Structure 1
């Protein structure tokens, strides 16, 4: 005897109503039936609400094409069909609820399993039933309202609160000119390098709601988080299966702790990192030594020296580029091995640069290609991608032998040389049509590759038993990167105060990464992207505003920018060297407090630089602030991110605060305006802090007096010119 679908639907609804609410003791959620459908609750929060007129899920198909130019991707999507799954049946067991969702004509169907696990209070596992036609994407709707705020999404630069906007989840170049209303974007687009508010090296399909719950889409596929609707969030997933994971927290630290249990945490940073600034220099061993010596003469505390051109360089029409063959170039850096030992004896570590790509002219590419370790296309040919007038192959990290081979290169050529830090760059250039060793396509592996790249670096460090002594930082990331990288880098800021690309975006990046499980981040002091011929050059003000903010972060590291000769550098004058010396001293005086904050990050997941509402959830204004942060629980930092500002308005949450530089006391919540001269950024500490004596001591470090172009300044000019000569135009 055959029973109709409609009759089964009628019986299911009656059963749900009779048993409502459906709750099993081992479950940490509630599935509740209504006359119109059902809803799912975490604690008192409804996260899923399904009715016939507003269904929870849609299925469909379309054609997604991806175009790429040097890491800049365009996602072109043609939708052919989208169908609502209006009806459902339900089967309950002791440890799960299984929902069969189907369309009115029964041609589209998906199985949705709800369950709780030790780490996840609600797991929504979705599998599409390919009964008729071809389904290659799904849409899932979550309950929302107009008062909700959302944070996370990986590393976001333009917006901290994600509500009201759409965020594609695809790792790529962050782009130049991310504020599309500015002229710089127009020129960048002509070179296929323009960005947008959502383009980022590190996207992640994760958000934390102001309602105190976490949502993570457990997929590596391309997805789109659409938060533009008032009463629901819609997540589009370009796959036939996915899991959506939820956790509820009693407060924001609890939620973040649960998130870090899911993704992993960064280890404690090396202690040497807090002994001063990591200075960037290029041009050879002698230039490196001279820069360190000059810094020491002016009293600058130097923790490390970063020589990104350690493997050599090559000439292009744009200027000098690094030669991507990751081994010590003894011609470019003669005696580097001895210099590393000498500097280490002074308490200074040497850092270098590496990425997962190899120049086809280098010996490492030839070795790897001969062993079949490089990424292939669907014709089994090694992909040789254009990275700017030179071709490179990418190591296929899904090949276990290639993975071990590249890990050994790091162990031998970097760690074995005595180097204790590096930038692990790139990872986001994987083309759509690549075919990996594991038989997955570039479309499937694109988002996952950055986490694999982070894992290579982490395992190399651990196998040399150097975790806790090595500082490597990543450019690209995705879910899982938290478990491997030591720290993330905040991207290629412009050397200016622009809204979409300037100094202020480093704050937004740190806060959003902190709400995505990446609690340790840092940035290039003074920014990176320079267009000297078009007037985009780093000023002294940009450099110093950026540096004074870095004092109140876990790491201080300079960068000369992609065109050093157009930029003001810390070594451009004795005055700047003196100012950096003061800032470096303040940074080291804060070391014990900073280490306590980093320890908290590595044990609980709480980000070092954290949003105000994490500790002050009852202050409604704290949910809309994106350019202030707390360094740990006791320091409030409000960086100056606009040109020519001498006074700054700061929101102080509900606590008693002391202005670092004037000792004026304030009781929040309130807005205050304070003087903000160069070298004294708006910083406040909690009156009840056990670290207040440390903070008071920092405030006594005087700003160096200005100097004219006297004899000492004139004598300095030859040194400056030599540095600028060796630091010619460089672009990775």
Structure 2
């Protein structure tokens, strides 16, 4: 939200009260806080203190490298919920020093320095060097019109880029943009977002989380060119500055505060096929889809039933439509017999015609209006109400229906919707503030479903396909990119959304291969296949048309087979990247700035990504096969054909449908699985250690996860023209490969390859 008319004037009807100078600083050693009282005018004599606002700014440190800032005008309001659940380190306490010149709170790796003389100036510093500042006309209380707001502005340095703020489908770099953190169901071609995350990450190695699920407005160099402004309605603004020094360090600390992504089951990395949305399907056609995949030797892991597995006008009633699925238990058992998992679409709404509506209404399980009646509308489903997950009994009731479906054989749920949550004229069971619940609702919804899956199938075996999200929702993976169009432009915007989400703390991400709205031509579908199968999770899904590969052409069948089998071979590598997402909060799909923070040439490379730390992928986003992408320094080898490109430059190539820029980072030992028809296997048995451009003196360990929870470690080193690998684990056969040279061992042992050029 913009408050100014140029630099000098305020917008008509608005009255800003800026922090002008420091009046006093007080320290509470026991609480670990440093509180600054800032006058909103220069105080020349005692009379100037009368009839003036005073702003209170409190600094604390919930964890090492994290500084919390609370800015308040009036502090006497009743605390409001919901609030993000942030995990402070109870054993950590900051160092605080105050003298006549300054007040300093040191969080270890990050400190804040408040100047007591002159005008308002606050410096956030890492190891004594400033990373950003709060300067004059930065901290303010704004009143006027129908409300009040608090805002802060943090300085932008020359060349500094800002990323994140949730799943945003516009430019990856947010500089110059106005971003409203307010969830909406707007598709991928708009400025709206299904997953609004009030957190941004700077290329200078720090992050900022605005700690509010309310409507947070960001002006990223779009009101004051040299500042990021963020504002919230009301009298209090809470935000956290999170230290690096690298973007990965920022995400580690951010997800340490807000929650790390859960482990997901290995089967979820296989190919998902769906019925599509409104396309015609029944039990017979579903069987035909699966038979068609098997007949064409196309590996398939999950089959998903979209909305019309239930009857029209009755979403959600959790009942199979008997006209099209007369024997759901039998059908799901037959799918399991074929080695498939089953996914079912759900949403958190109860249509009036659903048999559950009256029951939920009478028990108080639906969101209510202020007059006591049920809130309803006809958008999406006729007369639908919204399940009130702030009511524990309502959540248990909803989950009980999911448990019944799981007993029938459903393994996972697509948790659709959760964005258009009303914020005016409604009352939540627990008294939650309606404006704050608008963004927070997806957390409660997906948490309830995810925990139900964990209870039934075990920790590490739960997975959902979620669309809406807020801060902390990364704990309940996987998330997909919403309703894209079947165009090359929409494929590009979907990718930008996924990369922005990755820089917002989300470890896994997927999208609808081929696009959701419309029907892709065969060329676009084949291009999207390569991209989708080199994403963390891969799903064939559409709206009114099917996405079975043979509906396009025979080459699409071949491309599906090729890239699905490629992904299955990559499972030992992908599982390592997934474990890093779970343990450290580092996403599987990584924008270039995350993996190469010192290479400014790749900062705006928004049409490519690193899949894990070693594999660069650049989707082909044009009908003619032309693609331009950036390679960092070194010699990068194609995973598909072995060709080598020199880096530190932009590369232009042309690719056929069976090809994509997928280049391996120099200095990589890539574990290559022995099985290509399923994601679940003994990944260490028969694994090949593929060596790419290992420098002389390389000596590192490569770990391959095991299905039983154990891991096999291989030590690889290069000594001149020799590459030597060894393992003390005798359970599995394995191979060592560099270029065309391969050596194979049965069980434990040491392998040596002599190479000519390390290619």
CA distance in 1 between partners of 2:65 and 2:398 (Å):
35
Provide the C-alpha distance between the structure 2 equivalents of 1:102 and 1:438, rounded to a whole number of angstroms.
37
For the structure 1 residues 388 and 448, does the alpha-carbon distance in structure 2 shift closer, same or farther, using more than 3 Å as the test?
Answer: closer
Which whole-Å CA distance do the structure 2 matches of 1:479 and 1:556 have between them? 24
- Partner residue, 1:403: 395
Q: Bigger CA drift: 206-215 or 569-578?
A: 569-578
Q: Secondary structure at the match of 1:153?
A: strand
Q: Structure 1 residues 130 and 459 mapped into 2: Cα distance closer, same or farther (>3 Å)?
A: closer
The equivalent of 1:648 in structure 2 is: 627
Partner of 2:488: 497
Q: 1:614 aligns with which of 584, 589, 594?
A: 594
1:564 is the counterpart of 2:545: yes
- Find the counterpart in structure 2 of residue 96 from structure 1: 33
> Structure 1 stretch 622-631 or stretch 91-100: which is displaced more?
91-100
Tell me the CA shift for residue 244 of structure 1.
0.7
Q: 1:518 aligns with which of 506, 522, 526?
A: 506
Q: Deviations over 1:437-465 (max 9, x none)?
A: 12234323111111111111122122224
Q: Show the 5 A alignment for 1:7-86.
A: 80-86=14-20
Where does the alignment leave 5 or more consecutive residues of structure 1 unmatched?
1-52, 63-77, 179-194, 315-320, 531-536, 699-732
Aligned to 2:717: none
* 1:4-403 pair list within 5 angstroms: 80-93=14-27, 94=29, 95-104=32-41, 106-118=51-63, 121-129=66-74, 136-175=148-187, 178=189, 195=190, 198-227=191-220, 228=222, 229-280=224-275, 283-309=281-307, 311-314=309-312, 323-388=315-380, 390-403=382-395
The aligned residue for residue 5 of structure 1 is none
Does residue 576 of structure 1 match 2:571? no
- 290 and 527 in structure 1: CA distance in 2 versus 1, 3 angstrom threshold: same
CA drift of 1:694 comes to 6.0
CA contact (8 A) 1:86 1:102 kept: yes
Partners of 1:543 and 1:128 in 2: CA distance: 55
Q: Distance in 1 between matches of 2:675 and 2:368?
A: 59
Aligned counterpart, 1:545: 527
Counterpart position of 2:648: 669
- For the 8 Å contact 2:568–2:676, the answer to whether it is kept is no
State the SS of the aligned residue for 1:677: coil
CA distance in 2, matches of 1:345, 1:613: 44
- RMSD over aligned CA atoms reads 2.8
User: What count of residue pairs does the alignment treat as equivalent?
Assistant: 589
Q: Compute the displacement of 1:119 (Å).
A: 5.3
Given candidates 580, 603, 608, the residue that maps to 2:583 is 603
| Residue equivalent to 2:735 | none
**1:426 CA displacement:** 0.7
Given that 1:119 and 1:262 are in contact with CA atoms closer than 8 Å, whether structure 2 keeps it comes out as: no
Contact 2:314–2:350 (CA<8 Å) still a contact in 1?
no
The equivalent residue for 1:708 is: none
| 1:397-445 CA-partner distances (Å, limit 9, x unpaired) | 1112112211222222x32222112210111111121221122343231
Deviations 1:70-100 (A, max 9, x none): xxxxxxxx95433323233232323222112
3-state SS of paired residue (1:447): helix
Alignment CA distance shift 1:517-1:299 (3 Å): same
**Aligned 8 A contact 1:109 1:130 in 2:** no
Give 1:693 shift.
Answer: 5.5
Whether the aligned pair in 1 keeps the contact of 2:164 and 2:502 (CA below 8 Å) is: yes
For the structure 1 residues 507 and 79, does the alpha-carbon distance in structure 2 shift closer, same or farther, using more than 3 Å as the test?
farther
What SS does structure 2 have at the residue aligned with 1:141?
strand
In the TM superposition, residue 108 of structure 1 has moved relative to its aligned partner by: 2.6
Asked if the contact 2:525–2:556 (Cα under 8 Å) also holds between the matched residues in 1, the reply is no
Matched residue of 1:560: which SS? Answer: coil
Distance in 1 separating the partners of 2:531 and 2:331 = 31
SS state at 1:302 partner = coil
Q: 1:277–1:301: 8 Å Cα contact kept in structure 2?
A: no
Counterpart CA distance in 2 for 1:506 and 1:695 is 32
Is the 1:310–1:332 Cα contact (8 Å) retained in structure 2?
Answer: no
Which whole-Å deviations, capped at 9, do the CAs of 1:367-420 have from their partners, x for residues lacking one? Answer: 1111011001111110111124622100111112112211222222x3222211
Residue aligned with 1:464, SS: helix
Q: Does 1:461 align with 2:449?
A: no
**TM-fit CA distance, 1:679:** 2.1
Specify the alignment match of 1:426 in structure 2: 417
* 1:143 shift after superposition: 1.6
Whole-Å Cα distance in 2 between the matches of residues 692 and 401 of structure 1? 48
Question: Do residues 507 (structure 1) and 485 (structure 2) align?
Answer: no
Q: TM-score, normalised by structure 1?
A: 0.76
Question: Per-residue CA shift, 1:554-592, capped at 9, x if unaligned?
Answer: 21111122x217x88554444433332222222212222
8 Å Cα contact 1:280-1:557 kept in structure 2: no
Distance 1:235 1:571, change over 3 A: same
More strand by share: 2
Q: 1:160 Cα shift?
A: 1.0
Provide the C-alpha distance between the structure 1 equivalents of 2:590 and 2:550, rounded to a whole number of angstroms: 28
Contact 2:522 2:552 in 1 (8 A): no
Residue by residue over 1:179-235, the C-alpha shift from the partner in whole angstroms, topping out at 9 and shown as x without a partner, is: xxxxxxxxxxxxxxxx3xx31111111001111001100011111110123321111
Deviates more, 1:570-579 or 1:81-90: 570-579
Alignment of 1:686-705 (within 5 A): 686-691=665-670
| d(CA) in 2 for partners of 1:159, 1:375 | 36
Instruction: Show structure 2 runs of 5+ residues with no match.
Output: 1-5, 42-47, 77-140, 678-759
Indicate the residue corresponding to 1:527 in structure 2: 515
CA distance in 1, matches of 2:307, 2:58: 52
Deviations 1:483-541 (A, max 9, x none): 3x12111111111123xxx01122211211111111111001111123xxxxxx42112
Q: CA deviation at 1:101?
A: 2.3
1:678 has 2:657 as partner: yes
Moved more, 323-332 or 663-672: 323-332
Tell me what 1:75 maps to: none
The 1-side partners of 2:602 and 2:341 are apart by 39
Distance (whole Å) between structure 2 residues aligned to residue 202 and residue 102 of structure 1: 37
